[in-house]
Amino acid sequence: MKNLKKILVLVLALVMMISVVTACGGDKKDEKEEKETKEEVKKEEKTEKETEKETEKETEKETEKKTEKETEKETEVEVEETEAEAPAGEMTGQINVYTRDAASGTREGFESVVGFKDQLTDNANEVSSNGDMATKVGEDAQGIGYVSLTTDFEANNLQPADYEGVEPSVETVIDGSYLLSRPFCYTTRAEGDYESDELEQLVKAFIVFLTESTEGKEAVLSAGGIVDVEDSTPWDELKADHPIVDQDNSGLTITTGGSTSVEKSLNAALEAFQPLAGNFDKVVNQTGSGDGWKRTLGDDKDGPNASDIGFASRNFKDEEPTEDAMSADKYCDDAIVVVIEKNNPVTNFTQENLFDIFTGAVTNWEDIAK
Amino acid sequence: MNRIRIIKDRIAEGLTWLSSGISALVLIAIFVFIFKRGWSTLNWDLLKNNYNSENLMAGYDHIDWDEHGAFAAPDTLPENAFFSEKYGVAFVDSVSAAKESQMEVVFLDPESPLQDGKITTAGPRQGDKLGLEEGLYLKKISYINLEGDKKSAGLTATQGKTSEELVSVLDNDSQEVVDFYAQTEGGGLKGSIITTLLLIGLTLIIALPIGVFAAIYLHELAPKNKLTAWIRSSIELLSGVPSVIFGLMGMTMLFQVTRLMGITGQSTMLGALTLAVILLPVIIRQTEEALINVPDGYRMASLSMGATQFQTIYKIIIPNAMPGILSATLLSISRIIGESAALIFTMGTAIMDNPAWNTRGTSLAVHIWTVMSGEQPNFELASAISIVILIIVLILNVSVKYLTYRMTRDKDDQKKKNTKVKVKATTET
C-alpha cells in the first residue's frame, strides 16, 4: 500500500511537470491537443494503478466511469463543432442576450438610447466588465451584447454591428449620425476646496488642456476617446493663462476617481500633460461611475478616497448636482457598439430590433424583423 | 471478513483515489491555464520596470539645422526598423504588455542633430541635455513642415501613427524638428511587488501578536465559562463576514486611526489594519489549535518545577506551539496575497511605483483587478501576474516550512541528547 501511494504521488508530480512544460512551450500545440495528451497521461496513470490493484471489479467500475466521462466530453465537443459550423447565410436558433452589471455606465447608456429601462429580459446573462462581455460574446455564436468602441474586436473574435444602418466609427459619432453613444464627463471639486491653491490652478490648467488644447484632444483620441481635434487650440497659445505650468510641480499630485471606462483616455491625457506642466504626479484611482461625483462633491469628498477630478461614463444625474464644481462638462464621447460573434451574418440592428431582443420579445435569430 | 465488507472497503478506497485525482486534475488545469497564457508575457523587464513611465519632452530651439547632412542606416538595424535618413534615427513598432502600441527608438546616430535636445519641462532638470535616445518610446514629434507651419506626428498625433509613416513624414515633409515627447518603458510590476511584500509585513506585525496573545488568553488563562465560549464563537463568526464589509469598515472607522498617524488618504497602513482584522479569526483559531496540541504534561511539569504561569507560557508553551503558529502565518500570507475586495476600498486602485507605508499602492491581486477592469481585458498580463503571485507564495511557503523544520529538528536533537545523557546516567548508576 505504501509503495502504491508513493507511485501515485510520483505519477501526479510527473503529470504536473509535463503539463507545465507543455504549457510553457505551448505555441506549437493547440489546447485540444494538450487536453488529449493530458488525458492519455491520465489513462496511463490509471492503468498503472489498476494493474497494481489487480481487482477486476474495480477496473470494470473505473472503465465504466471513464467511458461515461469520455462520451460526455465527446458530445460536448460535437455540440461545439455543430455550433461553429452553422450555415453562413441564415442565422437560426436561440439568441443569448448578454448585459453588463447594474452599476455599469455602458449599460445605462445603452438602455437609455434603446429605451428599455427596467424591461430587460430575465434570460439575460450578466457580465461584470466590458472585457468580460467581449470575451463571453466572442465565445458564443448565438450571443449578442454591447461594448465600447475602444474594444479590440478582432482579438475577442467579435464583429461590430451597424446601428440603424450606420457603421460605428470616430467620424460617424462626431458628425452625429451614429446614435448609440455615451458621453465621458468630468467634474472637479468646488472652487477653493483643494489641498492647496497651486493644486487648484494645476487642475484648472489640466481641464483646459483636456477640453480645449490640440495636444490634449489628440492624446484622448489616440486612446480611443472620440473628440473633434479640428476644433481645438494649440497648447502654446492656451498656456499663457496658466503660469502654474511653468514651475516645478513635482510636489503636486492630481488625484482622479470615478469611471473605469475613462481610464485609458484619461491616462493618455495626464501623461501628455505631465511634461508640459512641471512633472506633477498623478493618481488614477478609478472604481466606477458612481464614485466620480461622490468623491469630488458628494459624501466621500473628505474621506480617504477623495479626488480632485471625478469622472462618469454617462451624464451626471439630477441627484449629482455639479453647480458647485469649478468646472464640469463632457470631454469626449464613447460609442457603444452592439457586438456579435465573428461569423454571425446579422450585421445591422435597428432600435426596434434591439428593443425586442433585450426585452425578450424576440428570442430566436430567425425572428428578428428585417 | 466477508465479501460485502471487502467490496465496501474497496469502494471507499476508490472514492479517496477519485477525489484526490480530481483535486490534482483541477490543480493541473489551473497551472496549465495560467502558464499557457502568462508565460510568454513574463520577463525580467516586466518585474523590474516601473508601472508609470517617465514622460519626457525636449526641444531643439537652439540648433542650427542647416549644418546637418544625410545619414546612412547602420548594418545592425533590425529588419522591422524604419530609418530616417534626414535625422539618423530609426524606430520599431511594437505592442506593450498592456497591449498598447509603442514606437521604440532603436538607433540614433551619434552625429544626429536629435542628440542635442534640451528638456523643456519646468523643474530641476529643465535645460538638461536629452536626445531622442535609444530605448525611449516616442509618443509625438513636432516639426516645421516645408511650408513653414508647425505640425506634429506620432502615436498621440493624427498622423505618423506607425514607424513607416512617421519616417516618411519626417524625411519628406519636415525642415526641422521643434520638440519631441517620449516615454521610458512602463507597465512593470515593481511597485506592486514591493507593495505586496510591504503589506504582508505590516499586516503580520499587527495581526500576529494580537492573534497569538488572544489565543493564549482564550486557551490558557480565560476561565472556562459562558463568556469565554461566547467570545470564542463570535471570533469564529467574524471569519464568515465577507471582506467587502471589512473594507467598508476600514474606510470609515480605521481611517480615523490612520488619520491620527498623519495620513490623509488611502494607504498601505490602512490596508494592513483592515487585513489584520480580517486575519484575526484565522490566526486565533490556528494558534489555539497549536496550543491544544502542547501536551498538558509540559504545563504540569513546568508549574511543578516552580515556574510561574507566564514563565510556563513564554518558555514552554509558545516554543512548543511554534510550528502551529508558523502555519497560521502561512495561511495568513496566502490570505493577504489573495485579498482584493477590501483593499480596493482601503488602498485604492492607483498603481504606484514607489510605495511606502503611508501612501496608496496596489497589491498584485488588485493590480490584476485594475488590469481586468478596464475596457480591454488583458488575460495575458493577469496570468503573468498570477505566476508572480504563485512564485512569491511558493518562496514564502518553502521558507516557513524550512523554519518549522529547523525548529522541530533542533528540538529532536535536544531530545536525543537528553535521552543519551539519561542513558549514560542510568548506565553509570
Q: Could you report the per-residue pLDDT of A287-296, keeping only the tens digit for each?
A: 888 889 999 9
Residue A259's pLDDT is 86
User: Residue A41 pLDDT > 70, yes or no?
Assistant: no
The answer to whether A256 and A284 have CB atoms below 8 angstroms apart is yes
Is the domain of A43 the same as that of A154? no
Residue with cell 461569423: A343
Looking at B154-189, list the stretches that DSSP marks H as alpha helix, in order from N- to C-terminal side. Answer: 163-173
Domain match, A293 and A271 both? yes
- Output the average pLDDT for chain A: 79
The predicted pLDDT at position A21 comes to: 63
Measured between CA atoms, how close is A94 to chain B, in angstroms? 27
Confidence of residue B238 (pLDDT cuts 50, 70, 90): confident
Please name the residue of chain A whose CA is at the shortest distance from the CA of residue B8: A58
The verdict on A307 and A357 lying in the same domain is: no
Query: Per-residue pLDDT tens for B319-361?
Result: 889 888 988 888 899 899 999 889 998 998 888 888 888 888 8
- Whether the CB-CB separation of A286 and B375 falls below 8 Å is answered with no
Same domain, B172 and B260: no
Nearest C-alpha of chain A: how many angstroms from B29?
8
Do B206 and B170 sit in the same domain of this protein? no
Same domain, A113 and A157: yes
Between A355 and A28, the higher pLDDT residue: A355
- Cβ distance B121 to A218 less than 8 Å, yes or no, reads no
Cell numbers describing residue A80 = 461545439
- To the nearest 10°, report the CA torsion of B280, B286, B289, B291: -70
pLDDT greater at residue A104 or residue A341: A341
Residue A326: inside a domain: yes
Instruction: State the pLDDT at residue B429.
Output: 56
Are B47 and B187 within 8 A, CB to CB? no
Q: Are A117 and A173 within one domain?
A: yes
Residue B24, in any domain of the structure: no
User: Helix axis angle, B364-373 relative to B379-428, nearest 10°?
Assistant: 160
Question: Could you tell me if residue A128 is inside a domain?
Answer: yes
**Final residue belonging to a domain, choices B155, B183, B211:** B183
Look up the domain containing B252 and give its range.
Answer: 190-413
Q: How far is A147 from chain B (nearest CA, A)?
A: 8
**Of how many residues is chain B composed?**
429
CB contact under 8 Å between B266 and A57, yes or no, is no
Angle at B78 between CA B72 and CA B80, to 5 degrees: 100
CA dihedral A71→A75→A77→A79, nearest 10 degrees, is 180
Single pTM value for the model = 0.76
Do B375 and A12 count as a contact with CB atoms less than 8 A apart? no
* Within-domain flag for B336: yes
Asked if B270 contacts B263 with a C-beta cutoff of 8 angstroms, the reply is yes
B-chain residues near A283 (CB < 8 A)? 348, 350, 352, 360
C-alpha grid cell, residue B152: 506634429
CB contact under 8 A, A222 and B155: yes
Task: Give the pLDDT band of residue B428 (cuts 50, 70, 90).
Answer: low
Strand partners, B151: B143
Question: Within a domain: residue B1?
Answer: no
**Same domain (yes/no): B122, B194:** no
| H helical segments located in B315-378 | 318-338, 341-346, 364-373
Same domain as A267, residue A206: yes
Residue B25 falls within a domain, yes or no?
no
Q: DSSP class of residue B69? A: -
Cβ contacts of B215 within 8 Å, gap of 6 or more = B283, B284, B285, B287, B288, B291
Count contacts between A and B (CB, < 8 Å): 168
Q: Of B183, B213, B238, which one is at a domain's C-terminal end?
A: B183
CA–CA dist A305, A255 (Å, integer): 9
Residue B392 CA neighbour count, 13 Å, CB half: 24
Distance CA(B330)–CA(B347), nearest Å, equals 23
A81 in any annotated domain: no
pLDDT for residue B3 is more than 50: yes
SS3 A98: strand
> Given pLDDT bands bounded at 50, 70 and 90, which one contains residue B129?
confident
Please give the Cα distance from A271 to A249 (Å, whole number). Answer: 14
pLDDT at residue A230 is higher than 90: no
CATH number at residue B377: 1.10.3720.10
Is A115 found in the same domain as A42? Answer: no
Position A295 in a domain: yes
Whether B374 and A130 lie within 8 Å, measured CB to CB: yes
Residue-level pLDDT at B323: 86
Residue A344 pLDDT > 80: yes
- B115 with B152, same domain: the answer is yes
Residues B264 and B401 in one domain: yes
pLDDT of residue B15: 94
What confidence tens digit (pLDDT) does each residue in B154-187 have?
A: 888 888 888 899 999 888 888 888 899 999 988 8
Q: Is the Cβ–Cβ distance between B118 and B133 less than 8 Å?
A: no
Identity (one letter) of the amino acid at B267? Answer: S
Closest CA of chain A from B202, distance in Å: 19
pLDDT score for B246: 92
Q: Are B105 and B135 in contact (CB under 8 A)?
A: yes
Residues A220 and A361 in one domain: no
Picking from A23, A151, A249, the nearest residue to B32 by CB comes out as: A23
In a domain, A318, yes or no: yes
Strand partners, A64: none
The dihedral built from the CA positions of residue A300, A305, A309 and A313, taken in this order, carries a sign that is negative
Q: Which three cell numbers stand for residue B274?
A: 483592515
In the predicted model, is pLDDT for residue A44 greater than 70? no
Q: Does some domain include residue A150?
A: yes
Region of B137 on the Ramachandran plot (φ > 0 left; ψ -120 to 50 alpha; else beta): beta
8 Å CB contact of A19 and B28: yes
User: Does residue A212 register a pLDDT over 90?
Assistant: yes
| Mean pLDDT value of segment A87-95 | 70
Domain count, chain B: 2
Return the pLDDT at A27. 42
With 0-12 / 13-18 / 19 or more C-beta atoms within 10 angstroms meaning exposed / middle / buried, residue B222 is: middle
Same domain? For B255 and B113 the reply is no
Most B CBs within 10 Å, among A227, A305, A311, A313, to test the B interface: A305
Is residue A84 assigned to a domain? Answer: no
Q: What is the pLDDT of residue A78?
A: 45
Give chain B's mean pLDDT: 87
Residue A253 pLDDT exceeds 80: yes
Asked if residue B346 and residue B236 are part of one domain, the reply reads yes
Residues A352, A261 share a domain = no
CA distance A343 to A89: 10
- B365 and B279 within one domain: yes
pLDDT of A85 over the 50 cut: no
pLDDT of B12 strictly over 80: yes
The DSSP call for residue B265 is S
The answer to whether B39 and A23 have CB atoms below 8 angstroms apart is yes
Q: A143: domain CATH number?
A: 3.40.190.10
Q: Dihedrals φ, ψ of A258, to 5°?
A: 105, -145
Q: Which of B99, B121, B346 has its CB closest to that of A275? A: B121
Number of CB atoms found within 10 A of residue B245's CB: 12
Domain match, B148 and B210 both: no
C-alpha to C-alpha distance for B429 and B425, rounded to whole angstroms: 6
Signed CA dihedral, A74, A76, A77, A78: sign only: positive
Q: Is A298 exposed, middle or buried (0-12, 13-18, 19+ CB in 10 A)?
A: middle
Residue B67: pLDDT band (50, 70, 90) is: low
Phi/psi at B391 (5° precision): -65, -45
pLDDT exceeds cutoff 90 at A206: yes
Summarised one tens digit per residue, pLDDT across range A122-140 is: 888 888 777 788 888 999 8
| Mean pLDDT along residues B215-222 | 90
Q: Quote the minimal CA–CA distance from A259 to chain B in Å.
A: 10
The answer to whether residues A192 and A273 belong to one domain is yes
Residues 6+ apart with CB under 8 A from A39: none
The pLDDT, as a whole number, for residue B424 is 66
Residues B228 and B368 in one domain: yes
Tell me if B57 and A218 make a contact (CB, 8 A cut-off): no
Complex ipTM more than 0.85, yes or no: no
Rounded alpha-carbon distances, angstroms, from residue A273 to A279, A280, B275, B353: 8, 9, 36, 19
In a domain, A90, yes or no: no
pLDDT at B412: 67
Distance from CA of A176 to the nearest CA of B (A): 21
Q: For residue B125, give the chain A residue with the closest CA.
A: A248
Q: Tell me the shortest Cα–Cα distance from B56 to chain A, in angstroms.
A: 6
Q: Quick one: average pLDDT of B285-306? A: 91
Q: For residue B329, what is its C-alpha cell?
A: 502565518
Spatial neighbors of A213 by CB under 8 A, at least 6 apart, are A232, A233, A234, A235, A238
**pLDDT(A76) > 80:** no
Whether residues B223 and B323 share a domain: the answer is: yes
List chain B residues with CB under 8 Å of A153: none
Q: Which residues of A touch B126 (CB under 8 A)?
A: 248
Which one of A221, A271, A286 would you mutate to disrupt binding with B, by most B Cβ within 10 Å of its Cβ? A271
Whether A189 has a pLDDT exceeding 90, the answer reads yes
Q: Determine the structural domain holding residue A252 and report its residue range.
A: 182-334
Provide, as residue numbers in chain B, all residues whose Cβ is less than 8 Å from the Cβ of A55: 10
Report residue A247: phi and psi, to 5°.
Answer: -120, 165
Neighboring chain A residues of B350 at a CB cutoff of 8 Å: 255, 283-285
B244 φ/ψ angles, rounded to the nearest 5 degrees:
-60, -40
Which of B375, B383, B394 has the highest number of chain A CBs within 10 A, making it the mutation to test binding with A?
B375
Same domain for B359 and B231, yes or no, is yes
Beta bridge partners of B93: B103
Q: Catalogue the E-assigned strands of B161-232.
A: 174-183
CB-closest option in B52, B270, B376 to A152: B376
Average of pLDDT values for A2-30? Answer: 63
Query: Does residue A193 share a domain with residue A167?
Result: no
Does a structural domain hold residue B305? yes
Can you say whether residue A320 is alpha, beta or left, with left for phi > 0 and alpha for psi between -120 and 50 degrees?
Answer: beta
Contact B163, B93 (CB under 8 A): yes
Query: What is the tally of structural domains in chain A?
Result: 3
Alpha carbon distance B153, B159 (integer Å): 5
Claim to verify: residue A187 and residue A101 sit in the same structural domain: no
